[in-house]
């Protein structure tokens, strides 16, 4: 007995933790500046940590009621109904729900290259066929309708990422509307806004709901996560916001209790901790500007909590920076062997990263 042939499946290039890197280098983990996974440099909201502590005594019960509370709270935040919130085990889990709900075996899925690896992975897990559209370095990785539509060939799901990982570019609402119009009503356009809190661009939820002068539509869904601005990557909490018309499908695709009760408690507390999110987004803005101004290498404008940087040899630069205790993402795994991606850190860690990167690229 063997699992089905998974050899064509991409493997998630997860970043390594500070402890692992520290062990390898024989350094104190406190001295490692880890800017490779777009995590929150301030850690979790203290209110979320306290909420988890308080909830720990009731983890012998299933999370149904707290799950319902969190869904209602998220629905309230976006002014949608509860069934439009597909709560999941991280944004990745919400992508799985969308795949389950929409893909039949052999259906096409169109993803950007470079782009976030999990779109292709969830497509393959659900027996879809992955095809790509190219974001060109020479165009600054611009996400125009043409970049997508020139490659579109009747796929069932089209993924847009705004802000885009790893390039930092955005898709504006007019571009998304045009893509959704031209791909037609049998194609779902998923707009991944995992980094949405760091951007000034309004959420594509306006297209789903028909707000701010846009026509409402039932072929766009939006992805959000607690992993970035809310600092809860380890608790695994994310969700899709979906059109009212097909919201009921959630009950047929969700893994029962996929978001744990501790995750739900943390999410509720984090949503109320506006101060933590504001401190994070303000510092990210500062850090992006600092990197653009102070890095000697060419940087790309970014709407996310990271900056893409041109280097000659990404693996050599990432390795040299790591030896100095600064961990950045070698973008070879994204098909960009001449770029590294640097997460926006605190003032101190950003300054240290910039100084080390200037040294190793100089
Ligand atoms: N979308 C994008 C573009 C991401 O970069 C990530 C995580 N790095 C996710 C979705 C998923 O995040 P999570 O599963 O932690 O919510």
- Which domains does the chain carry? 18-44+274-361 (3.90.1150.10), 57-272 (3.40.640.10)
Q: Which atom of ligand 1 is nearest to the CA of 226?
A: 16
Nearest by Cα to 148 from 166, 129, 161: 161
- Partners of 328 in beta bridges: 35
Instruction: Please give the distance, rounded to the nearest whole angstrom, from the Cα atom of residue 266 to the centre of ligand 1.
Output: 18
Burial 224-233 (b: 16+ CB within 10 A, else e): bbbbbbbbbb
| Ligand 1, atom 11: closest residue by C-alpha | 91
What is the longest distance spanned by two Cα atoms in the chain? Answer: 57
Nearest by Cα to 265 from 51, 77, 69: 51
In whole angstroms, give the CA distance from residue 226 to residue 210: 25
pLDDT at 266 over 90: yes
pLDDT at 257 over 90: no
In whole angstroms, give the CA distance from residue 227 to residue 40: 8
Report the residue among 98, 227, 233 best suited for mutation to probe ligand 1: largest number of ligand atoms under 8 A from its CB. 227
Report the residue among 86, 167, 194, 344 best suited for mutation to probe ligand 1: largest number of ligand atoms under 8 A from its CB. 194
- Partners of 108 in beta bridges: 129
Q: Residue holding tokens 């041109």?
A: 310
pLDDT at 92 over 80: yes
| Ligand 1, atom 5: closest residue by C-alpha | 165
Whether the CB of 349 sits within 6 Å of ligand 1: no
Q: pTM of the full predicted structure?
A: 0.96
Instruction: Please give the distance, rounded to the nearest whole angstrom, from the Cα atom of residue 91 to the centre of ligand 1.
Output: 6
Which DSSP string corresponds to 189-203? EEEE-TTGGG--SPP
CA angle, 89 as apex, 46 and 103 as ends, to 5°?
A: 150
Question: Greater confidence, 20 or 183?
Answer: 183
Instruction: Please give the distance, rounded to the nearest whole angstrom, from the Cα atom of residue 225 to the centre of ligand 1.
Output: 7
CA angle, 289 as apex, 284 and 291 as ends, to 5°?
A: 95
In whole angstroms, give the CA distance from residue 55 to residue 57: 5
What pLDDT band is residue 12 in, cutting at 50, 70 and 90?
low
Output the CA torsion sign for 287, 272, 49, 93. negative
ipTM (interface pTM): 0.99
SS3 (DSSP) at 184: coil
Q: Which atom of ligand 1 is nearest to the CA of 237?
A: 16
Task: Give the chain's mean pLDDT.
Answer: 95
Output the CA torsion sign for 62, 63, 69, 74. negative
Distance between terminal CA atoms of the chain?
Answer: 54
């Amino acid at each position: 007995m063997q699992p089905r042939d998974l050899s064509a499946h991409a493997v998630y290039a997860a970043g390594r933790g500070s402890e692992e890197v520290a062990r390898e280098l024989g350094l104190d983990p406190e001295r490692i500046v880890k800017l490779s996974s777009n995590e929150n440099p301030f850690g979790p909201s203290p209110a979320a940590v306290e909420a988890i502590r308080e909830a720990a005594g009731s983890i012998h019960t299933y999370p149904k009621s707290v799950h319902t509370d969190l869904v209602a709270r998220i629905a309230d935040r976006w002014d949608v109904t509860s069934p439009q919130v597909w709560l999941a085990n991280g944004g990745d889990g919400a992508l799985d729900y969308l795949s389950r709900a929409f893909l039949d075996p052999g259906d096409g899925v169109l993803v950007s290259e470079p782009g976030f690896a999990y779109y292709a992975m969830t497509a393959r897990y659900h027996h879809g066929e992955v095809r790509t559209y190219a974001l060109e370095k020479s165009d600054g990785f611009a996400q125009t309708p043409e970049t997508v539509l020139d490659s579109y060939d009747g796929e069932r799901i089209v993924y847009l990422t705004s802000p885009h990982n790893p390039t930092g570019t955005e898709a504006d609402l007019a571009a998304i509307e045009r893509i959704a119009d031209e791909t037609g009503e049998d194609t779902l356009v998923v707009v991944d806004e995992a980094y949405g809190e760091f951007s000034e661009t309004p959420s594509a939820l306006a297209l789903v709901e028909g707000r701010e002068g846009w026509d409402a539509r039932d072929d766009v869904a939006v992805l959000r996560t607690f992993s970035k601005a809310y600092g809860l990557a380890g608790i695994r909490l994310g969700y899709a916001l979906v059109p009212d018309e097909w919201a009921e499908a959630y009950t047929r695709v969700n893994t029962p209790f996929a978001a744990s009760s501790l995750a739900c408690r943390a999410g509720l507390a984090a949503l109320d901790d506006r101060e933590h999110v504001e401190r994070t987004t303000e510092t990210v803005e500062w850090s992006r500007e600092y990197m653009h101004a102070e890095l000697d290498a060419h940087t790309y404008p970014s709407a996310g909590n990271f900056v893409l940087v041109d280097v000659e040899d990404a693996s050599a630069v990432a390795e040299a920076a790591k030896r100095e205790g600064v961990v950045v993402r070698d973008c070879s795994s994204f098909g960009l062997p001449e770029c590294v991606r640097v997460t926006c850190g605190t003032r101190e860690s950003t300054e240290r990263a910039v100084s080390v990167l200037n040294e190793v690229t100089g």
